[in-house]
Structure 1
Amino acid sequence: MTQSPNQTNLEVGNKQKYLGNKGLIVFMALMNMFVPLSTDMYLPALPSMNSYFGSSSAVTNLTLSAFFFFYAIGILFWGPLSEKYGRKPILIVGSILYAASSIACALSINIYFLIAARILQGIGSGAITSVSMAVVKDSYSGKKRESILAICQSITGLAPMIAPIIGGLILSFSTWRGSFWTLSLISLVNLGFSLLFQETLKDEDRYTGTLFGSFGRLIIVSKNKSFIIPAFIFALSTLPFMGYIAVSSYIYVDYFGLSAQVYSYFFAANALLSIAGPFIYVKFLSNMDKKLFASIILAIATLSGVLVMTLGTLTPLLFWASFIFMSVAGTVMRPFSTNLLLDQQESDTGSASSVIGTLFTVFGSIGMSLASISWGNIVFGLGLLITVFSLLSLLSWNLFMKSKIPCVGVKNSSSN
């Protein structure tokens, strides 16, 4: 290629005949909203679903953890395929699968049928979100990419804010099934965007080897220590947040005795403040020393865990105030961590996106499972998870910074 990577990426970003550059940003944001919409919209209904299906909270929560586990597998599967066949075909297939499985969820006759449908829904989501990250790398570079990530992630932050409110409103005139019918409609909108979307993967950048060989690129990407080590660290730091997603309705409804609708307001208030995180990073913190920045953010998350274990057990407002430090810290970190990981891998973007998504999702599923076990005091248990895993991430980051392993954008050397 005769052009520089920056020139090529910026040029591709402007070649959306039907969507345009702004439409592309909206589409990428919508793709990233699928996971929070898929989980948060029916969170207010979880306690009532226990009664409807006659199941325990542990079994009902499998609709969350199973979704995330197979979402991780889906990401790992679809990402390499998008390197070989392009982003658009994967998006179309994923959107159709998601729509069909959402309808199946709405028609579920028992909890096990619902869990099975959620597994298929997770696989469809994996196709959509794995491609979304690759499209960002295809279309933008440098500071522009970091800004686009912040915009998309802030828009995406609307999903956890509005989803539980919508879910709560749906419960006022319908049942939990209404949430899945709503997701079916959203998936059809995404399918429409997918059909209008123009391919961003250039022909010369496609993987031309065998189908089996395309999955082998995952191994190549994973051998890059500059990429895989920080990927593990950042994934570890998100574990307790997904634990919060799994048990938040039980904390507010069962532990504190609030209604499902009031719970949705607390959940939305947390998401509203979190939306500002990416913009705070780009506006005020993007030029800060990256080593120090990550250490401070992870230290704030650790402090949040201590506050949740102590003050957070007393009232719903104190729990919310204690957890918000963790929540905002995570969203402030997100544009930095995503851009940093993409910088470590010059090629195989789809495979790199798959590895990132899989790690974050697997650790998230572990967080959901750990938070859902019987702690005696559910708030204390969540606070302990936040403290332990945030502290582990902080220590791991500092050890990585002291190592001789290069890290583009943080250490003054090139990637392996």
Structure 2
Amino acid sequence: MKTRHKFSGNVKIILFLALISAFPPLSTDLYLPALPQMVETLAASISKVNMTLSMFFIFYAGGLLFWGPLSEKYGRKPILLIGLTIYIVSSLLCGFAATVNQLILGRIFQAFGGSAATAIATAMVKDLYCGRERERVMALVMSMVIIAPIVAPVMGAILLKYISWRAVFYALAGIGIIAIAISSTMKETIEKRYSGSPLRSLGRLFVVLKNPQFAVLLAIFSVGPMTIMSFLSTSAFIYIDGFGLNEQQYSYFLAFNAAFALVGPMLYLQLSKSFTPRGIISGGFPLIICCGIAVMTLGMTSPWVFALCIALGTLVVTVMRVPGVNLMLDQQQQDGGSASALINFFGMIMGSLGMQLVSLNSHNLIWTLGSLQLLVGLMTGCLWLLIRNRPFVLQNVYKG
């Protein structure tokens, strides 16, 4: 299929989409090595400091539902500029936080502003591309975005050697300034804006959710992020407190996991030359189950064994992410902003739920991570078996 917009093939657009799509991993992974340090310096509990992660994702998810539909009425560019401004200011406030409660509050506003970037990025992909071309662009953008969690923990650990964890948030403010400077030069991508009131534009979310095909796919593919985000929230405690690694060594193991996530979308493109999206998705769920069992039974033997088991699970989830998102977007000819908001919203919400569930058993984090991965594979795999032969899935069969 051909792309639908004059920006087709523009490298600048793809790089820009990757930058604004990278805000979630940059906003979390850059300061993950500092979590144990923050527990000490802020005189807070592990669960309280973990709230700077979980609350970020919850309000990031909520912001998606706000910005996505509004971009249908006011355009992608104005909404993006407003959101980035909020992100920059709140990042600076996080850096100045004197207590963990102040930091949590700053993270809430940072999440709300930054969520505009994610909502707009996915909506722009829907605006500019369709079909197989959209899959290629999504895979390329996802792979580029994953460079952030590879580099961010290493950068964060290096910063911690010389300066306070507060510098991480000043760096995030700087990234926001770069993004807003580039955004101001971009052209609007939405071709037809919603003519109703702002309140009715928010109501388009419910119109999209009433689409049963979109809704059932959303229920299946929103659960996968639970496995990745629950690992991120506990990884510092597993590697540093559990296996006794230092912050620098921990950052390398986190980068190892991110490298598998980087390969996932591009591996999907190679697999899709020989297999349909439906076939690739069907093969993914048993692999997730196997990875969960491996983490539960072998993960505690060494940091490298644990890292490999988790990384393989991450690889499978990211391989399935591309066809899953594209299949959902194919169900909506209009309301691309609302559809993209819902896709990212439920992914964030389920990821945040995973963070909270895994922290309930803090004395055996590795076993809990594995069991969560096992349950995710079983539940979503069963749902997929129920709908994999439906016409709206079968029509998504293009290869090569």
- The interval holding the TM-score normalised by the smaller chain is over 0.9
SS at match of 2:299: helix
Matches within 5 A, 1:12-411: 12-14=6-8, 21-202=10-191, 205-402=192-389, 406-407=392-393, 409-410=395-396
- Counting aligned pairs with the same residue, the percent is 38
Between the aligned partners of 2:213 and 2:388, the Cα distance in structure 1 is 11
Change (3 A) 1:286 1:66: farther
Structure 2: which 5+ residue stretches go unaligned? none
| Equivalence for 1:11 | 5
- Counterpart of 1:331 in structure 2: which amino acid? T
TM-score with structure 1 setting the length: 0.93
Between the aligned partners of 2:342 and 2:273, the Cα distance in structure 1 is 25
Change (3 A) 1:124 1:209: same
Aligned residues: 398
- Counterpart of 1:94 in structure 2: which amino acid? G
Q: Deviations over 1:354-403 (max 9, x none)?
A: 1111110110110111111225311111111111112111111111225x
- Counterpart of 1:371 in structure 2: which amino acid? V
Offset, 1:273 = 2.6
Q: Report the more deviating stretch, 286-295 or 170-179.
A: 286-295
Q: Report the more deviating stretch, 83-92 or 370-379.
A: 370-379
Q: Deviations over 1:218-262 (max 9, x none)?
A: 000001111111111111122121100100010000111110110
Change (3 A) 1:287 1:409: farther
**Given that residues 68 and 362 in structure 1 are in contact (C-alpha distance below 8 angstroms), is that contact kept between their aligned partners in structure 2?**
yes
Between the aligned partners of 1:208 and 1:287, the Cα distance in structure 2 is 43
Change (3 A) 1:374 1:115: same
Between the aligned partners of 1:409 and 1:365, the Cα distance in structure 2 is 33
TM-score with structure 2 setting the length: 0.96
SS at match of 1:288: coil
**Given that residues 343 and 409 in structure 1 are in contact (C-alpha distance below 8 angstroms), is that contact kept between their aligned partners in structure 2?**
no
Offset, 1:177 = 0.6
**Given that residues 88 and 198 in structure 1 are in contact (C-alpha distance below 8 angstroms), is that contact kept between their aligned partners in structure 2?**
yes
- Counterpart of 2:189 in structure 1: which amino acid? T
**Given that residues 13 and 138 in structure 1 are in contact (C-alpha distance below 8 angstroms), is that contact kept between their aligned partners in structure 2?**
no
| Equivalence for 1:17 | none
- Counterpart of 2:112 in structure 1: which amino acid? I
Offset, 1:135 = 0.4
Q: Deviations over 1:14-70 (max 9, x none)?
A: 4xxxxx811110010001100000011100000110001111110000000000000
Two-structure CA RMSD over aligned residues (Å): 1.5
Structure 1: which 5+ residue stretches go unaligned? 1-5, 15-19
SS at match of 1:13: coil
**Given that residues 143 and 264 in structure 2 are in contact (C-alpha distance below 8 angstroms), is that contact kept between their aligned partners in structure 1?**
yes
SS at match of 1:196: coil
SS at match of 2:244: coil
Between the aligned partners of 1:95 and 1:58, the Cα distance in structure 2 is 29
SS at match of 1:209: coil
**Given that residues 226 and 405 in structure 1 are in contact (C-alpha distance below 8 angstroms), is that contact kept between their aligned partners in structure 2?**
no
Between the aligned partners of 2:91 and 2:269, the Cα distance in structure 1 is 36
Between the aligned partners of 2:350 and 2:194, the Cα distance in structure 1 is 29
Change (3 A) 1:21 1:411: closer
- Counterpart of 2:305 in structure 1: which amino acid? L
Q: Deviations over 1:145-190 (max 9, x none)?
A: 1111111000001011011001000001011111111101000010
Between the aligned partners of 1:223 and 1:336, the Cα distance in structure 2 is 22
Offset, 1:338 = 1.4
SS at match of 2:275: coil
Ranges of 4+ aligned residues in structure 1 off by more than 6 Å: none
Change (3 A) 1:313 1:408: same
Q: Report the more deviating stretch, 74-83 or 376-385.
A: 376-385
Between the aligned partners of 2:273 and 2:131, the Cα distance in structure 1 is 12
